[in-house]
Structure 1
Amino acid sequence: MKRPDRSPVSGTLLRRLAFANIVANAAIVVTGGAVRLTASGLGCPTWPRCTDESYTATAEMGMHGAIEFGNRLLTFVLVLIAGATLLAALAHRPRRRGAVPLALAVVLGIVAQAVIGGITVRTQLHPSIVGIHFVVSMLLLLVAYALWRRVSEPDGPTVPVVPPAVRTLTWLTVVASAAVIVVGVAVTGSGPHAGDADAVRNGLDPQTISQIHADLVFLLVGLTVGLWLALRAVGAPAAAVRAALTLLLVELGQGVIGFVQYFTNLPVLLVGLHMLGSCLVWLATLAVLWSTRERRPADHPPPPTSPTASTSTEPSHPAPAPA
């Protein structure tokens, strides 16, 4: 009997590369925040060059130029990681169903982010473009997380592990989490950390939009508490209960940072931590969503169907009893 070809890329390496995409895309959100919080958004005043004469920052451009150029260089690190993940997904045997399209989406998303970043610079850090830049980062985290979970699971069909009502509550929590992030972007666009002293703001009243953001946070926390209790009540898998509790704890930590930064006039360090917290809340939300379903092995027998009346004769070889 012919032995199957050995995969040139191990499953462990593929999973590690996929996880590295999550870490890298979260990290560049934080470094991008550092660019804005240090007023270095126009440290390189044009794009794709750093200046009209040079692709790199010069000593005369000072700290702001170095910070902005350093953040641009991180894009190449992300491209290398995403490219390596795509090649690994292509080379892995047996090829994981759906992994290649997800890996390709990460690569294309990073390239799109670079272009959006360039538009951000050329529009003098317009808050709407900056907001789009951040939201796309969250979408990239979604795709990177989906890729990591995909290469960590079997190739069979997905099945829910909680009742439909709990699944619906999970999706409501995901929607609320996304709404908190989007409105948080609007809060940032109305505040003082624009990325440059002369950058325009979105014109929203900071106090009003901050109150809306806080109300959505309370809604999210309430939904998460309800989801955690519901998962416990229906006897959901321990992983799902832990994921909901983790999300709740991350939300509470993020909420504390948010309230403290608001009442202390938005200190730079706390705003940076709040941006990191946004990534963690989103990833914890995705973990809850994925925990309410499982993917079975490809050769897993289908669930038994209810018997129906039939006039056909009995099969000559009855099916074996389920294990």
Structure 2
Amino acid sequence: MMPSARFPVSVTLLRRLAYASIIANVGIVVTGGAVRLTASGLGCPTWPRCTDGSYTTTPEMGVHGMIEFGNRLLTFAVGIIALAVLLGILTHRVRPRGVLSLAVAVFLGIPAQAVIGGITVLTHLNPWVVGLHFLASMVVIAAAYALWRRIAEPDGPAVPTVPAPLRALALFTTLVSAAVLVVGTWVTGSGPHAGDQGAARNGLDPEAISQVHADGVFLLIGLSVALVFAFRAVGATRAARAAVVLVAVELSQGLIGFVQYFTHLPAVLVAAHMLGSCLVLLATLAVLWSTRERRPADPAVGAVAAGQRVTVAA
């Protein structure tokens, strides 16, 4: 069976659904931030119910209950999109390796996120658990991105598009990006936006841990700029473009971070910074993905498949 038969015409729909899954998972990170920034983290004071006697919010709980319960409802919307992607993939008897595993990981990651969210409530917004909740979202977003990219790829071997040292540098940059995200949760856990007035903080010195975070950001930007010049030097145009986008996203995120720090963390900038964290992750993964490509195992089959895709598009 030719590779094009793996995903017939509906490959376009599957990619759109996978893309929607990325957007939905980023969106729930931002709405989750809104819960914390409006001090609605304990708007529903228990889990899995909203109150001891109700799964839904009650009028007595006011706006905070509505905000927290609304965010819980969004989890179902994100899960429905992930389920649609998974079911779409299952309809195809033959599919690229790894696609089904990624779809299952994204789908199962959402209820896992809900459980971690429930633990944050049951531990009265313990800052370390809240940080884990955010980082788990980053893992699901990364899996959703990999799924989106993998769906349309041929099933041949992955071939590097840049020399091995530059691929290693891109991988190291990805690890530094992940470390910056982790330290960012420590900064958040030491700051004023706890999600509830009575929630504890992690006890770290806000200024000291913010400096550590800033140092990591400087390292990340430096590595990303180095990737731009290195990719251009070896003629890797696609990788260089991805690195330029990464630098632009990092500079924007860094600007938001500095402004929010010196303006005493206004809620709107903190929310923008959370969105920026997701965009930095996605831009970093785009750079890593650009350092390799998959080619059809049989070039002649690949040419036929490409011609069929053009015919379908027409």
**TM-score, normalised to structure 2's length?**
0.92
Alpha-carbon distance, 1:20 to partner: 1.0
Alpha-carbon distance, 1:92 to partner: 2.8
Alpha-carbon distance, 1:126 to partner: 0.2
Partner of 1:266: 265
SS at match of 2:296: coil
Partner of 1:239: 238
SS at match of 2:41: coil
Q: Deviations over 1:164-211 (max 9, x none)?
A: 111111011101111111000000000000100000000000000000
Amino acid in the other structure paired with 2:130: V
Q: Does the aligned pair in 2 maintain the 1:9–1:91 contact within 8 Å?
A: no
Partner of 1:37: 37
Q: Which has the larger radius of gyration?
A: 1
Amino acid in the other structure paired with 2:291: T
Q: Does the aligned pair in 1 maintain the 2:42–2:68 contact within 8 Å?
A: yes
Alpha-carbon distance, 1:262 to partner: 0.1
Alpha-carbon distance, 1:60 to partner: 1.4
SS at match of 1:195: coil
CA distance in 1, matches of 2:40, 2:244: 38
Instruction: Tell me the percent identity.
Output: 69
Q: Is there any run of 5+ residues in structure 1 with no aligned partner, and where?
A: 302-323
SS at match of 1:159: strand
Amino acid in the other structure paired with 1:57: T
Amino acid in the other structure paired with 2:112: A
Q: Does the aligned pair in 1 maintain the 2:41–2:195 contact within 8 Å?
A: yes
CA distance in 1, matches of 2:149, 2:187: 32
Alpha-carbon distance, 1:152 to partner: 1.8
Q: How many residues align?
A: 297
SS at match of 1:294: strand
Q: Does the aligned pair in 1 maintain the 2:117–2:133 contact within 8 Å?
A: yes
Amino acid in the other structure paired with 1:276: L
CA distance in 2, matches of 1:120, 1:185: 14
Q: Deviations over 1:194-243 (max 9, x none)?
A: 1000000000000000000000000000000001100000111x221110
Q: Is there any run of 5+ residues in structure 2 with no aligned partner, and where?
A: 301-314
Alpha-carbon distance, 1:58 to partner: 1.2
Partner of 1:105: 105
Aligned Cα RMSD in Å?
Answer: 1.5
CA distance in 1, matches of 2:248, 2:5: 46
Amino acid in the other structure paired with 2:34: A
SS at match of 2:299: coil
CA distance in 2, matches of 1:188, 1:106: 26
Runs of 4+ residues deviating >6 angstroms:
4-9
Structure 1 residues 5 and 250: CA distance shift in structure 2, 3 A: closer
Alpha-carbon distance, 1:9 to partner: 6.8
Structure 1 residues 44 and 154: CA distance shift in structure 2, 3 A: same
CA distance in 2, matches of 1:186, 1:84: 35
SS at match of 2:51: coil
CA distance in 2, matches of 1:23, 1:92: 24
Q: Deviations over 1:84-103 (max 9, x none)?
A: 10000111354232111110
Matches within 5 A, 1:1-323: 10-92=10-92, 94-236=94-236, 238-300=237-299
Structure 1 residues 300 and 165: CA distance shift in structure 2, 3 A: same
Q: Does the aligned pair in 1 maintain the 2:85–2:103 contact within 8 Å?
A: yes
CA distance in 2, matches of 1:160, 1:6: 24
Q: Does the aligned pair in 2 maintain the 1:103–1:147 contact within 8 Å?
A: yes
CA distance in 1, matches of 2:6, 2:151: 17
CA distance in 1, matches of 2:172, 2:5: 45
Q: Deviations over 1:266-299 (max 9, x none)?
A: 0000000000000000000000000000010132
Amino acid in the other structure paired with 1:102: L
CA distance in 2, matches of 1:96, 1:87: 15
**TM-score, normalised to structure 1's length?**
0.90
